[in-house]
Structure 1
């Protein structure tokens, strides 16, 4: 069955999928797969398939923001994906999590606009515990820089408008456990819980050669987030 937005056939989508924002990053990730081939490139949605250590998997980009990401995840799940890992960038509210840190989001505070239209206000966005722990253990085994796990707050904005981005408020609340600002962490666990699929998962041995995501932060009049290229 053809997925109308991703322009991929459900028969070609394996159970394991890595998702990311930038189509160029999807191409970079695909180079780590054996026998990688591109299935489709429609709008911001670019999909590759291949194998990694004998496991069939796909890589799909979804652009910026929760609504576009939701379209991607929805169609991947309808196509048969069971385990999704999203790789990307976040900004830190903690001084002990510097630029270049490797982080695993275990849950998300839903301040985005999309999920409010899909589920009740109190519905949680929590990652599968086995998935999150496998990622965290694998990240630690790499022995590179700072590795953290914890709660994320998801916002829809990058720059100030008439209202300023409420970083000061979130920095205060971060003392109670919030660690990072992200733009996509809310929707995936929310829908995964509803659709009974898993997310953030690879085994420790399979994850060891993947540099999943980093935080690169520069502090000036505002905080800026830039992705660091994935590398083995």
Structure 2
């Protein structure tokens, strides 16, 4: 070690031969290159500083032997071309919100395009029951509806309140088909198309006692006493 005595131009730190320090196994505060692994004691953090000067944990090996990344006080961002997981043998792409619509679906997309298992019966139609009078124009969700009320706006000219309404929806509401099977055997049908509901029509079946025939002057019922 060279020590300079009596020269005010040299302080204690500068009195050490810097040429010799360069050959020692120490990393400069200004940075440098390590030739070996950087090893930290267990549960000791490698830290960085936030803009406000507070320290923030970056990575450590926990007391349970797991690698921990990030700090609970801040968001963690991993920057790269693609986010992958490697299990020691194979690598796998980690799915994120970037994969919405391709590998995974948003909840709204699932609700709009799939039926819950609990709502699906043998025919694949969700079941519901309505007992309070409602506007029949509002029954647009595809499925089978048990109707148990009289009246309601835009209802079919039925003579029995109970029955099953089957709704089929195509093109997200562009075309809607409604078929109502009354509990007394009557069947009525109508459809929605070109932004307009069509009139209800009764489907003739062997259970109907009257047959209604239509002409340009109106309709008449034909029946046998």
TM-score with structure 1 setting the length:
0.20
**Greater relative contact order (Cα 8 A, min sep 6): structure 1 or 2?**
1
Q: Decide which structure has greater helix share.
A: 1
In terms of Rg, which structure is larger? 2
TM-score by length of 2: 0.21
